[in-house]
């Protein structure tokens, strides 16, 4: 739980904790701080912006953490819109330390499927059980590696491919090999009935050298041992939005800064920006 993508899950949890305590908070996650404190590797990390060296000027705990706060809010809103429009199945792919099954106000009858590796889910269960957390929807965790076969486990857990569904791949496709991303899109398309939707984050292409030197990457590597550039898969990225479009889905692609403007707070563009290439894609199956 303390290496590779597991460490990034703790980094995102710390960012969500910081966001929760901001006076102008974009998203509330009362469980995030408990995840950070429960893992020895992250126990000393800041969970409030005032605890971070440099405060909001910190590339890691200021700007990047605010990015994760914005991303959390945007995808929260997207999933709740789907649920309030009648979708009752939500599938979180690479769920990590996501606590949406507990912290969001789901309509009655919602089922949240959380797909991630067994060791990540075990850590998550231990922490949530320790604080007496109660889910606000029916929660069905599924231990599986998304680089391998996982659709069967989802079906075995009760997922109904004839009913509308909302899918989320937050902070996932950046780390998957291109072939695994293509398989994931193929599986989602096969399991999603018309009226379903999918939201995900991508970073097309390889970062230019001047962007690879951005302080966000340096700070993450030097301060908490997360080599984001090393974790990003270096293969040419598939155009999953175009693939979905060819399958009949409608897609909308946005930059994070679109939502900074929309919500009135969040990261702003900067020179040689590590966030500028990130795209959030929202797809609907007619």
Give dist(CA 68, CA 269) in Å, integer.
15
Task: Provide the pLDDT for residue 2.
Answer: 53
Q: What is the pLDDT of residues 154-178, one digit of tens each?
A: 999 999 999 999 999 999 999 999 9
Q: What is the pLDDT of residues 181-221, one digit of tens each?
A: 999 999 999 999 999 999 999 998 788 999 999 999 999 99
Q: What is the pLDDT of residues 92-144, one digit of tens each?
A: 999 999 999 999 999 999 999 999 999 999 999 999 999 999 999 999 999 99
Task: Provide the pLDDT for residue 69.
Answer: 98
Give dist(CA 259, CA 71) in Å, integer.
9
Which residue, among 188, 169, 193, 179, has the nearest Cα to 281 in the 3D structure? Answer: 169
Q: What is the pLDDT of residues 263-277, one digit of tens each?
A: 999 999 999 999 999
Task: Provide the pLDDT for residue 234.
Answer: 82
**E strand or H helix at 111:** strand 111-116
Give the model's confidence band at 233: pLDDT under 50 very low, under 70 low, under 90 confident, else very high. confident
Ordered DSSP codes for 12-77: HHHHHHHHHTSTT-S---TTHHHHHHHSTTTTTS-SSGGGSTTGGG-IIIIIIHHHHHHHHHHHHH
**pLDDT at position 3 over 80:** no
Residue in this structure with the two tokens 């399958």, named with its chain if needed: 247
Helices (H), the chain: 5-20, 32-38, 65-84, 100-103, 118-130, 151-156, 178-191, 209-212, 215-224, 228-231, 240-246, 256-263
The HSE-up count of residue 220 (CA atoms within 13 Å, CB side) is: 27
| Burial of 156 from C-beta contacts in 10 A (0-12 / 13-18 / 19+) | exposed
- Are the beta carbons of 56 and 77 closer than 8 angstroms? no
Task: Provide the pLDDT for residue 5.
Answer: 56
Residue 193 structure tokens: 């009935």
- Sketch the domain layout of the chain as residue ranges: 66-214+235-284
pTM, to two decimals: 0.97
Give dist(CA 45, CA 47) in Å, integer.
7
Give dist(CA 247, CA 189) in Å, integer.
8
Which residue, among 10, 42, 32, 39, has the nearest Cα to 133 in the 3D structure? Answer: 32
CATH (residue range 66-214+235-284): 3.40.50.150
């Amino acid at each position: 739980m303390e290496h590779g993508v597991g460490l990034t899950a703790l980094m995102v949890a710390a960012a969500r904790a910081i966001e929760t305590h901001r006076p102008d908070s974009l998203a509330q996650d009362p469980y995030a701080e408990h995840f950070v404190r429960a893992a020895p590797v992250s126990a000393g990390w800041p969970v409030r912006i005032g605890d971070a060296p440099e405060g909001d000027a910190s590339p890691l705990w200021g700007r990047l953490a605010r990015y994760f706060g914005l991303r959390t809010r945007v995808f929260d809103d997207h999933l709740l819109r789907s649920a309030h429009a009648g979708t009752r199945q939500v599938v979180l792919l690479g769920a990590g330390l996501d606590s949406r099954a507990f912290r969001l106000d789901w309509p009655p009858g919602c089922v949240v499927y959380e797909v991630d590796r067994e060791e990540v889910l075990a850590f998550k269960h231990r922490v949530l059980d320790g604080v007496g957390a109660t889910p606000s929807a029916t929660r069905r965790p599924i231990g599986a590696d998304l680089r391998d076969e996982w659709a069967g486990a989802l079906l075995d857990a009760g997922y109904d491919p004839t009913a509308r569904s909302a899918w989320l791949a937050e902070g996932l496709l950046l780390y998957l090999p291109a072939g695994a991303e293509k398989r994931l899109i193929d599986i989602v398309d096969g399991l999603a009935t018309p009226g379903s939707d999918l939201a995900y984050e991508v970073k097309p292409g390889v970062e230019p050298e001047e962007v690879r030197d951005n302080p966000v990457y340096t700070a993450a590597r030097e301060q908490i041992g997360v080599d984001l550039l090393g974790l990003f898969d270096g293969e040419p990225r598939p155009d999953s939005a175009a693939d979905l479009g060819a399958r009949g889905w409608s897609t909308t692609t946005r930059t994070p800064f679109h939502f900074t403007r929309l919500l009135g707070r969040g990261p702003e563009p900067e020179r040689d920006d590590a966030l500028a290439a990130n795209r959030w894609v929202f797809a609907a199956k007619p």
